[in-house]
Amino acid sequence: MNANFLVSDFGNKSVAEVAIAYPQAIQVLNRHGLDYCCHGDTVFADACVTQHLDPNQVWMEIQQERPAKGTLRFDDWSTPLLIDFIQQHHHRYVRESIPEIMGLLERICEKHGADQPLLRKLQQTFGLLAEELLAHLPKEEEILFPMILHFTREGTTPNDIYPRVEAPVAVMEHEHESAGDLIKLIRSLTDNYTTPDYACPTYQYTFRMLREFDEDLMQHIHLENNIVFARLKG
């Protein structure tokens, strides 16, 4: 690959723009811990350097990555369709997964907590994340999303919609960032979801569920911050 290609044609794009233009990039970004949702406006090359990664190498990985089965191009979807998908898929997943993960964490804390005090910290951190998310979702479903859909169906242009929803959007973005910070702490507490050699099947399954929750939440926030809200901002 031409070493100048990234800098001239791609390196100045944001991480969010990379994730939108190349849906398979999300798999690579997740592997390298590159934030494409809460801080998706960071320049791709800068984000790589901050993580001590070679931007050209990461870009090559993105080009070589095969899209996962069912990978979708969300930037082609209408705003009402995106909002419906977010609620039916991501919001439902959050509500269904939280009780299961909380129960699993309690089980592994009872069995391994005495030897691994960080497990209790992990349980507390996920509990705080769960509390925040379960308070956050109704604000979108009952206030923000109906406002956006109302103005969209009336044919209001994005430039005219945004001033009317700017305040609730700002609140949602702030809460997204808080959730992202808790996810980063969970990654740290779990060594990026790495189980010890002696981990029992329940321990292993719990960490798989936590990783899945992390990846789902990152895409969830990405769709809202970088597509739905970004469209309103113009």
Single-letter code of the amino acid located at 119: L
Closest CA to 217 of 185, 183, 173: 183
Residue 225 domain-assigned? Answer: yes
Is there a single domain that holds both residue 108 and residue 223?
A: yes
Question: Structural domain tally of the chain?
Answer: 2
Residue in the structure block whose two tokens are 């997204």: 176
Residue 69 domain-assigned? Answer: no
pTM of the model: 0.86
Interval 220-232: pLDDT, tens = 999 999 999 999 9
* Helix intervals (H) in the chain: 3-5, 15-21, 25-32, 44-50, 55-64, 79-85, 92-112, 118-139, 145-153, 158-189, 201-222, 230-233
The pLDDT mean for the chain works out to 90
Is there a single domain that holds both residue 124 and residue 204?
A: yes
Comparing 103-107, 153-157, 178-182, the range with the smallest average pLDDT is: 153-157
Is there a single domain that holds both residue 59 and residue 95?
A: no
Is there a single domain that holds both residue 81 and residue 182?
A: yes
Residue 143 domain-assigned? Answer: yes
Single-letter code of the amino acid located at 147: M
Residue 25 domain-assigned? Answer: yes
Is there a single domain that holds both residue 23 and residue 98?
A: no
Tell me the two tokens of residue 54. 């070679």
SS3 14: strand
**Cα Rg of the chain, angstroms:** 19
Interval 192-202: pLDDT, tens = 999 988 889 99
Is there a single domain that holds both residue 185 and residue 84?
A: yes
CB 25 within 8 A of CB 52: no
Residue 14's domain comprises 3-64
Query: Rounded to whole angstroms, how far apart are CA atoms 181 and 124?
Result: 14
Residue 121 domain-assigned? Answer: yes
Residue 70 domain-assigned? Answer: no
Residue in the structure block whose two tokens are 């209408």: 78
Is there a single domain that holds both residue 164 and residue 102?
A: yes
CA–centroid distance for 225 within its chain = 10
Residue in the structure block whose two tokens are 């909380």: 102
| CATH number for 52 | 1.10.3910
Residue 136 domain-assigned? Answer: yes
Is there a single domain that holds both residue 37 and residue 130?
A: no
Is there a single domain that holds both residue 180 and residue 90?
A: yes
**In this predicted model, which residue has the larger pLDDT, 202 or 63?**
202
Interval 116-130: pLDDT, tens = 889 999 999 999 999
Q: What is the pLDDT of residue 128?
A: 98
Is there a single domain that holds both residue 170 and residue 82?
A: yes
Residue 201 domain-assigned? Answer: yes
SS3 74: helix
Sort 156 into a burial class: Cβ within 10 Å, 0-12 / 13-18 / 19+: middle
Is there a single domain that holds both residue 161 and residue 88?
A: yes
Residue in the structure block whose two tokens are 């809202």: 224
Is there a single domain that holds both residue 115 and residue 216?
A: yes
